[in-house]
Structures are given as C-alpha cells and as structure tokens.
Amino acid sequence: MNFKHIFFDLDHTLWDFDKNSALAMTQTLSAFDINCDFDQFHDVYNPINEVYWSMYTKGEITKEALKIKRFQDAFYELNYDLPAERIEGISVHYMEILPHFSHLIEGAKELLDELKLSHTLHVITNGFNEVSYKKLTYSGIIDYFDQIITPESTGLKKPNPIVFHHALEKANARPEESLMVGDNYEVDVLGAEAVGIKAVWFDHKKTGQKLHDRSITALSDVYAVMA
C-alpha cells in the first residue's frame, strides 16, 4: 500500500519513556532526599500512574491533578507522610528534568531516517504540549516531523476521532494514504482505524498478543507490515 503520511505516537513508540522516566525519577528522589529503593517505588508508582493517565485520556481528570495525585498516592501506599507542598515540588522537579533524558526506542532513529526519504512524518501524542516538544528537541528528532499534534491543538486526546481528523487536516493528508504507528492498541490503533487510517500496533512490551494484523515488536519491522 502506498502510504504518503505516517503518524507516530511518541511515548513508548519513539521516545523510551520507561528508561527516561526511571532516570528522571531516580534523580528526583535523590534530590528530595527520599530514602526509598527505586525498584520498590517504581513498582508502586507505575500502576498508579497508568490509572491516572487512563483517566486523563478519558477527560476524567485534569493534567494538573494527574501530575500531583500519582505521586500523592504512591507515597501514601509506601507510608511516606509528605506535606502537599513537598509533593508538588517533587512533581515539578520530575517534569522539569524528564524531557532532558533523550533515550529513544531501539531502531527509532534508523526508521525515521529511512521513512523521511519517501514519506511525510508527523506525531500525534496525548502528552503535555510543553514536555512533548522538549522530548522531541532534546532527543534530536523534532526536525523529522512536519506536524506535531498535542492535546492543546484540539482540547481533546486520542482516541477521539476529532484528534485524528484534525491531524489529517493539518497534514493535508487523506485517510487512505496515511498510516498510524503506536503502542496503545485502543488509543492509537483503534482510534486511527475509526477514521479510516490504517494502523500498526507496536507491541513494545512483547506481550505475544495477536490483537492486530499489523503487529510488530520491533520498529525495524514497520516496513514489513506497510505492504
């Protein structure tokens, strides 16, 4: 199939959120003298963060609430009695340093180099606008993309069809000539397909689930499923 436009999710698809977040979190806990084993904190924080991100995606909480409550709940679960202003400081520090860590998913740079030769590339992310632009800049890949769509563009988030329609309009692209690559099956894949965009599910966790005909576990396999 002759795709002209390829839309990418950012976190967990191109930008290695797990690695970068771990580095930022370790530095943050140290900066605030939180005497906690990182693995223990990670095991508690991560599922809490995923729940709040899901709520944020659905519009059930604000990004301000997300930033604070994930830390608040994690420290509560670990029996840390921290005042609200200290938790806010931890959250601010983490968000400030996070985008400065620039690890990409294995094969991301090489894939972008190849695709850029014959396709127009774009990003559609549910990440915060200011942080997403910094992630793209500090990781050295912002110049690969023609359009960068964040929730601030429409006030909505994937998988809302308005987001994908807006992305197509900004890119001057038609659904039938477009492809979406993302790690979240419901948000990226089903969201894109609902408006007629073909999609690739990047199973970066290597779950082994066969949820989609175009499923990959390595970015280098994108070409194989583009036919």
Q: Which two tokens stand for residue 123?
A: 């990003």
Share of the chain above pLDDT 70, in %: 100
Residues 10 and 26 in one domain: no
Share of the chain above pLDDT 90, in %: 91
Of 112, 126, 202, 221, nearest to 167 by C-alpha is: 126
CB 119 within 8 A of CB 5: yes
pLDDT per residue as tens digits for the range 203-217 = 999 998 888 889 999
pLDDT per residue as tens digits for the range 153-206 = 899 999 999 999 999 999 999 999 999 999 999 999 999 999 999 999 999 999
Residues 126 and 217 in one domain: yes
Chain-centroid distance, C-alpha 147: 16
Which residue has better confidence, 208 or 25? 25
What are the φ/ψ torsions at residue 80 (nearest 5 degrees)?
-100, 125
Residues 112 and 195 in one domain: yes
What are the φ/ψ torsions at residue 146 (nearest 5 degrees)?
-80, -45
CATH code of the domain containing 202: 3.40.50.1000
CATH code of the domain containing 68: 1.10.150.240
Of the three residues 60, 81, 100, the one that is the final residue of a domain is 100
> Which pLDDT band holds residue 113 (cuts at 50, 70, 90)?
very high
Quote the number of domains for the chain: 2
Residues 22 and 12 in one domain: no
H/E stretch holding 205: none
Residues 6+ apart with CB under 8 A from 194: 159, 161, 164
pLDDT per residue as tens digits for the range 134-166 = 999 999 999 999 999 999 989 999 999 999 999
Full domain range(s) for residue 156:
5-16+104-225
pTM score: 0.95
CA distances for 3 relative to 124, 139, 165, 180, angstroms: 17, 26, 17, 10
Of the three residues 75, 100, 125, the one that is the final residue of a domain is 100
Residues 95 and 136 in one domain: no
Residues 207 and 146 in one domain: yes
**Tokens 């990959």 label which residue?**
216
Give residue 127's pLDDT: 96
